[in-house]
C-alpha cells in the first residue's frame, strides 16, 4: 500500500509553490513524522512531513513549481522494511565515545544537522565535512552554514597568471563563457523574493506615497527600560525591548489620528477600529511581516513574547500564512542594521508604515544648552489618498510624545 504525498493548502490566496529542498531522497526509508521536503511559496516556507513509514519515491525534482493538491511523492509501506530495533541499537552512538566518533569522522552526519541547517546545505550545495562547526560538540549551526554559503559566493577570482594559463588551453568558443566565471552568480529569484518585488512595485503604482519625518529623544525610554530590565526579565523570562514601547506609542497615536489606521477598497475608505500591528522581520530569504493581533489589549510582556516568537519562526521558515495576514499598520526597524534614515514603502492595503532607525548621540539644544542626546529619526510613509499631511504630522508628534514621555503610555511592569 502506498501513501500519496500531496502539496497541502497553505493559504487561501496561494495556488502553487516550489519544491525548495528534498530532505529525504528517492528510495530512502522514512519514518512517520520525518520532514520530507520544504515547499516555498510567495509568502511562507512550509515543511511537509511523512504521514507514514516506508520507502519514499519522489516524482518531482528540486526547484520545480507544483500546484496545491499535486502528488509529489509516494511512500511505499510494503517496500523496504523499517530498520529493526537491533539494527537501530547497533547504529546508536556510544555515549562513552566522542561526538566525532559517534557521528562519523567529521561529526557532521545528516542525523546531527537541524532541519534549517540541512536545508541551507542542500540549497547551496555545500559539503558539511568542509565547514567548521561552532556548536556544541562541533555541530554545525545555522550561522556556520550561512557563512560558508556567503564565502562560496564571494570566493575571489583566480589570479591573473592562472587565468592567462587557463585561457591559453581553452578553445576560442569557450573563452567568452570562461571570462565571466567567478565574476557573477546567477540564481532564480525565490517565490518569496518575487512576491516582495511585486508587492513593492504594486504599492508604488497604486498608492500616492508620501513620507514625513521627525526625530525622537530616546533618553527617558532608555532610562525606564534600563531601570525595569532586571525585574521584567526575572518575572517574564524574556527581555524588555524598545519595540514594545513603539507598538504602545503607535497604538496611542493611531487612536488620536484614526485616518492612519485605514485602507482604501475601490471607492470606499475602510476605517479599522482594531489595532493589528505588523512588525517587519528580516530573514536570509527576505522580509516578512508577521502581525501582532489586538496590540492595544496586550501587555508589554505579551508584545515582547509575540515579537520574539515571530522572529524565531520567520528565521526558521516555520511562520504560517495566517501570521502574515490582516495587519492594519506596519512598523519596520531598519536601525537594527545601522540605517540612519530611510523612506519605507507601504505594505498594501495599509495606509501607513513607520520606519524606526539607529539610535545615535547627537547635539541637541535643551533650554539654551547644547547637550548630547540619544536621538532616533522616525519616518512615516502614508497613502496621501486616505491621509492628509496634517494628520500624518500629528501622528508622528503624538508618537514622539509617547516615547519621550513613556510614563504617559499604559505601563504594566
Which conformational region is residue 334 in: left (phi greater than 0), alpha (psi within -120 to 50 degrees), or beta? alpha
388 is catalytic: yes
* Contact predicate 22/39, CB 8 Å: no
The overall longest dimension of the chain from CA atoms, in Å, is 84
384 is catalytic: yes
* Contact predicate 272/262, CB 8 Å: yes
Catalytic residue from among 127, 294, 388, 412 = 388
- Rg of the chain (C-alpha set): 26
Phi, psi of 371 (to 5 degrees): -125, 150
Active site residues: 384, 388
Amino acid at each position: 500500500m502506498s501513501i500519496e504525498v500531496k502539496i497541502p493548502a497553505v493559504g487561501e490566496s496561494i495556488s502553487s509553490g516550489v519544491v525548495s529542498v528534498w530532505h529525504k531522497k528517492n528510495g530512502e526509508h522514512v519514518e512517520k513524522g520525518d520532514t520530507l521536503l520544504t515547499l516555498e511559496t510567495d509568502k511562507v516556507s512550509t515543511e511537509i512531513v511523512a504521514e507514514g513509514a516506508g520507502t519514499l519515491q519522489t516524482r518531482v525534482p528540486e526547484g520545480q513549481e507544483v500546484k496545491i493538491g499535486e502528488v509529489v511523492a509516494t511512500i511505499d509501506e510494503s517496500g523496504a522494511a523499517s530498520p529493526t530495533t537491533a539494527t537501530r541499537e547497533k547504529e546508536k552512538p556510544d555515549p562513552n565515545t566522542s561526538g566525532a566518533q559517534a557521528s562519523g569522522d567529521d561529526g557532521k552526519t545528516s542525523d546531527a544537522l537541524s532541519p534549517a541547517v540541512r536545508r541551507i546545505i542542500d540549497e547551496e550545495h555545500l559539503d558539511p565535512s568542509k565547514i567548521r562547526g561552532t556548536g556544541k560538540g562541533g555541530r554545525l549551526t545555522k550561522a556556520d552554514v550561512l557563512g560558508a554559503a556567503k564565502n562560496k559566493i564571494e570566493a575571489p577570482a583566480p589570479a591573473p597568471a592562472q587565468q592567462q594559463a587557463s585561457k591559453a588551453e581553452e578553445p576560442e568558443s569557450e573563452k567568452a563563457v570562461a571570462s565571466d566565471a567567478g565574476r557573477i552568480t546567477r540564481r532564480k529569484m525565490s517565490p518569496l523574493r518575487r512576491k516582495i518585488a511585486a508587492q513593492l512595485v504594486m504599492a508604488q503604482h497604486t498608492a500616492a506615497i508620501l513620507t514625513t519625518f521627525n526625530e525622537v529623544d530616546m533618553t527617558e525610554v532608555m532610562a525606564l527600560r534600563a531601570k525595569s530590565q532586571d525585574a521584567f526579565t526575572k518575572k517574564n523570562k524574556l527581555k524588555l525591548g524598545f519595540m514594545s514601547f513603539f507598538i504602545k506609542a503607535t497604538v496611542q497615536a493611531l487612536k488620536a489620528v484614526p485616518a492612519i489606521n485605514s485602507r482604501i477598497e475601490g471607492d470606499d475608505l475602510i476605517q479599522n477600529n482594531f489595532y493589528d500591528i505588523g512588525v517587519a522581520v528580516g530573514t536570509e530569504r527576505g522580509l516578512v511581516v508577521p502581525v501582532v493581533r489586538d496590540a492595544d489589549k496586550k501587555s508589554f510582556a505579551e508584545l515582547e513574547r509575540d515579537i520574539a516568537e515571530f522572529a524565531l519562526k520567520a528565521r526558521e521558515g516555520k511562520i504560517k500564512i495566517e501570521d502574515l495576514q490582516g495587519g492594519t499598520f506596519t512598523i519596520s526597524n531598519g536601525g537594527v542594521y545601522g540605517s540612519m534614515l530611510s523612506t519605507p514603502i507601504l505594505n498594501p492595503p495599509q495606509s501607513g508604515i513607520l520606519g524606526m532607525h539607529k539610535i545615535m548621540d547627537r547635539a541637541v539644544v535643551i533650554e539654551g544648552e547644547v547637550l548630547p542626546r540619544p536621538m532616533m529619526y522616525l519616518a512615516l510613509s502614508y497613502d496621501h489618498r486616505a491621509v492628509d499631511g496634517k494628520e500624518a504630522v500629528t501622528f508622528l508628534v503624538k508618537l514622539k510624545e509617547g516615547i519621550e514621555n513613556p510614563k504617559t503610555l499604559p505601563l504594566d511592569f
